[in-house]
Structure 1
Amino acid sequence: MARAAALVAGGGLLLQCLYCCSLLAAAAGAGGRYEALFNFGDSLGDTGNICVNMTAADQLLLTVAHPPYGMTYFGRPTCRCSDGRLVIDFLAQELGLPLLPPSKLRGADFRRGANMAIVGGTALDFAFLESIGLGYPVWNNGAMNVQIQWLRDILPSVCGGGAPPGGPRCRAHLAKSLFVFGPFGGNDYNAMLFFGFTTEHARNYTPKIVDTVASGVEQLIQLGAVDIIVPGALPVGCFAVYLTFLPSSNPADYDEYGCLKPLNELSVYQNALLQRRLAGIRERHPAARIIYADYYGHVERMIRSPARFGFRDGAVPACCGAGGGRFNFELDARCGMKGAAACPDPSTHESWDGVHFTEAVNRLIAEGWLRGPYCHPPVVLH
């Protein structure tokens, strides 16, 4: 339990687009630009919320606040879980918007966007996780409904003139904004699987996770959101963190790439349910553009054919670590800890720290959303 608790304190989980973006293309590609960008989710999208308002002493315990995190683009740690930019950073830059400030940053200008995502973010509320015996504090960083409340809290400053959430001025502004809602669910499974649940037990909660995400999409629409990207789950069975801490003694549980099939099947199940729920939302809200982003499909292709995408190694070996274990990932030898170092060229690796992607992967994912082939048709920016 102590090993699992220390492990999950470091971060959450990962993104792309298979069903997708004809309506988004109409909004963004036909000469228009979004006025703002709003992001929700976990450590895949956190641009600093986990560090905002932390004391220096607290940050000493947070691996993402230490080198070599941030080395590739920023030249220093920015509390992003990567060597450089995240998918949301590339989206902002391509859309001509500033990099998103963390929503918990006091005094920030949120008129052109804000980031509600936070390391440890879950779909299910902390009280529910506590009720099923999963009350470790990291899951209380900011569940989905908490993040939506953070948006509500800043909307008067976003919309100007103290305009209330849901009012005409705010609705007009949000209708010209792009929302990225998720991924959610990764940390819910982390809370379960790292603390003793089997994949079969965790699967029982997948419908609740998906229903919760769908309710969040509905809440954004009620506030005035029109264009909403909803990413699905990743092939997490191919990540070093799971292969290290949830190994199987049954060879049949591994595919030809060394990935854990039961974990990937859990992601496939969530994605199937999510797409069905999003289809229902589209029917109820025909004016909204609900875009399913297929993280799984693109990342799986990178794992199966790394050289095709310019990578030397697949998603399993971590670029950054202290030489621990088979995958350069161990609890006491993680990236950001004493003795940890990055590989010579992170751009040739898919996995940054055994949990999150390198900037190079994040760039490809963003391009897949904006230009295809994982958005059909691609979003054409002018």
Structure 2
Amino acid sequence: MASSAAFFLLAVAALHVCCCRGQGRDGGAVAAIYSLGDSITDTGNLAKEAPPGAFETIKHLPYGVTFGRPTGRCSDGLLMIDFLAHDMGLPFLNPYLAKNTSFDHGVNFAVAGATAMDPADQSNRTFSLKLQLRWFKDFMKSTFDTDEGNSKNFFPLITVSQPQCTLCFQRSGILILYVKFVRAEIRKRLQSSLVLVGEIGGNDYNYALFGNKSVSEVEKLIPAVVQTIIDATKEVLDMGASRVIVPGNFPIGCFPSYLTAMASPEQSAYDSAGCLKDLNLFAAKHNAQLQRAVAGLRSSYPDAAIAYADYFNSFLSLLKGAPALGFDENSTHTACCGAGGRYNYDERRMCGVEGTAACADPSAYVSWDGIHMTQAAYKEMSRLIYHGRYLQPQILSFPE
């Protein structure tokens, strides 16, 4: 039996693990990037997981045309995550479901079509944030924790009167502090890494809105979606992450898919940028709740660097400055690849199927297929966010 002195030292060490999370404010180099999310970030997971015949369009040209070949990315080329990795001096992130590939500098767990919340209909196979988080944990354990010993268990460490940790319970009137054992190797790796939790949640709303639910009905989902994102972020931080970025949603009322599906005969429904006001107000409500929740995380995890990535206002900035950035000012709301119509978008004939065509110069367009952006737009978005004022606060430093 361990001596009382030894037990006290173990308790103090474990309390430090629980309450002193993340040591990433020193500006140390980022050794790896781990990403959770949806099609905005997916570098090939859906294409590798989908059975033959499903999601065939993203597996073939014109997807990837600017890159030179299809990669499973929902664009003509690279994504924001690719530009971020490049700017940090790291290789592009390989998808988690890829075989015989390197994960030395990070892993991409994002899956196109993924939702934040688990689907109510369990027969609908959706790659939710919960599943991606499980992949993340499994990867970290299998790669950096080969000891199967204590890593599965909770065990009592110390009694406390004013607990600062949420992992506590009461027994016989005494509060007992419990801490999940996290291997030092995992914590060390995460403290030299960057973790992106999203963008995610957009599809929860997309599926509902395109399922004929009203904007006011879908607004009721916002608190649950935001809480799911925050809960996942807490788990990442509890594992030892010291740098975490949580992105918000885009101004979806500016996207060709929504501009087509929810077109209004009333000019008053549109703002000065030609976007649908109600949809952008909805996205702004999601972002406001998410920002408040992220601010709460900073209070709970003072030793971690936690930033909110403002996709909403950075995208509006891109639209406003589109001509100066080399985009065709007459095509900022038009898909490069599609099947005609005012916005070159038809949900019955998506980019890549028979009867659709891609524009000659994707770099002149903001939207690739009506839902996702072009490589040129993603590059500009990455610059605005990660090198500009739309990462709040700025927690990244880039090599010269």
Counterpart-to-counterpart distance in 1, 2:133 and 2:282: 26
How far off is 1:53 after superposition?
3.8
The answer (yes or no) to whether the contact 2:25–2:304 under 8 Å persists in 1 is no
Aligned mates of 2:123, 2:268 — CA distance in 1: 32
Amino acid in structure 1 at the alignment position of 2:115? T
Q: What is the rounded CA distance, in whole Å, between the counterparts of 2:389 and 2:237 in structure 1? A: 27
- CA deviation digits over 1:125-159, x for unaligned, max 9? 113xx3xxxx783xx33111111001012113432
Equivalent of 2:36, from 24, 40, 44? Answer: 40
- Equivalent pairs, count: 345
CA distance in 2, matches of 1:253, 1:174: 46
Provide closer, same or farther for how the CA distance between residues 197 and 318 of structure 1 changes in structure 2, counting only shifts above 3 A.
Answer: same
Q: Is the 8 A contact 1:38 1:113 kept in 2?
A: yes
1:325 aligned counterpart, secondary structure: coil
Cα distance in structure 2, aligned partners of 1:239 and 1:53:
27
Equivalent position SS for 2:182: coil
- Which among 138, 141, 148 is matched to residue 126 of structure 2? 141
Find out whether 1:104 has 2:101 as its counterpart: no
Partner SS state of residue 230, structure 1: strand
1:58 Cα deviation after fit: 2.3
Match of 2:110 in 1: 117
Distance 1:258 1:371 in 2: 27
Q: Which of the residues 82, 92, 106 maps onto 1:89?
A: 82
Residue of structure 1 equivalent to 2:62: 68
1:272-322 Cα distance to aligned partner (Å, 9 max, x none): 111111111100110111100000111012223321322114531011123
Counterparts of 1:242-257 in structure 2 under 5 Å? 242-257=258-273
Partner of 1:11: none
Hey, what does 1:17 align to over in structure 2? Answer: none
The answer to whether the aligner puts 1:153 opposite 2:138 as a matched pair is: yes
State yes or no: 1:168 paired with 2:161.
no
Amino acid at match of 2:291: Q
String of CA shifts for 1:242-285, please: whole Å, max 9, x gaps. 11112234432211222111110011111111111111110011
Q: Is the 1:65–1:336 Cα contact (8 Å) retained in structure 2?
A: no
Name which of 53, 63, 75 aligns with 1:58. Answer: 53
Tell me, yes or no, if the aligned pair for 2:250 and 2:283 is still in contact at 8 Å: yes
Once residues 267 and 311 of structure 1 are traced to their aligned partners in structure 2, the CA distance between those partners, rounded to angstroms, is: 24
Distance 1:245 1:38 in 2: 34
Deviation at 1:122?
A: 0.7
Relative to 1, partners in 2 of residues 1:169 and 1:24: Cα closer, same or farther, differing over 3 Å?
closer
Give, in angstroms, the shift of residue 97 of structure 1: 1.6
Could you tell me which residue of structure 1 aligns to residue 333 of structure 2? Answer: 316
What is the aligned partner in structure 2 of residue 185 from structure 1?
Answer: 201
The residue that corresponds to 1:230 in the other structure is 246
- 1:312–1:176 distance in 2 versus 1, CA, 3 Å: same
Instruction: Check the 8 A contact 1:372/1:379 in 2, yes or no.
Output: no
Partner of 2:172: none
1:199 to 206, 215, 219: 215
RMSD: 2.2
Moved more, 161-170 or 248-257: 161-170
SS at match of 1:51: helix
SS in 2 for 1:81: coil
**Residue in structure 1 matched with residue 174 of structure 2 by the alignment:** none
- Whole-angstrom distance in 1 between the partners of 2:220 and 2:50: 36
Distance across 2 between alignment mates of 1:217 and 1:166:
16
Q: Is the 8 A contact 1:82 1:353 kept in 2?
A: yes
Q: C-alpha distance in 1, partners of 2:245/2:56?
A: 29
| TM-score normalised by the chain length of structure 2 | 0.81
Partner of 1:3: none
Q: 1:303 to 1:336 in 2, by over 3 A?
A: same
Q: Per the alignment, in what secondary structure is the counterpart of residue 369 of structure 1?
A: helix
* SS of corresponding position for 1:262: helix
TM-score using structure 1 length:
0.84
Q: Aligned partners of 2:249, 2:83: CA distance in 1, in Å?
A: 20
Equivalent residue runs for 1:333-372 within 5 Å:
333-372=349-388
Gaps of 5+ in 1: 1-22
Offset at residue 180 of structure 1 (A): 1.1
Q: Which runs of 5+ in 2 are unaligned?
A: 1-21, 152-180
CA distance in 1, matches of 2:358, 2:26: 40
Name the structure where strand makes up a greater proportion of residues: 2
DSSP-derived class of the 1:279 partner = helix
**C-alpha deviation, 1:24, in angstroms:** 11
CA contact (8 A) 1:318 1:353 kept: yes
8 Å Cα contact 1:232-1:295 kept in structure 2: yes
Residue of structure 2 in register with 1:374 after alignment: 390
Residue 129 of structure 2 aligns with an amino acid whose one-letter code is M
Paired residues of 1:70 and 1:80 also in contact (CA < 8 A): yes
The match for 2:314 among 298, 308, 313 is: 298
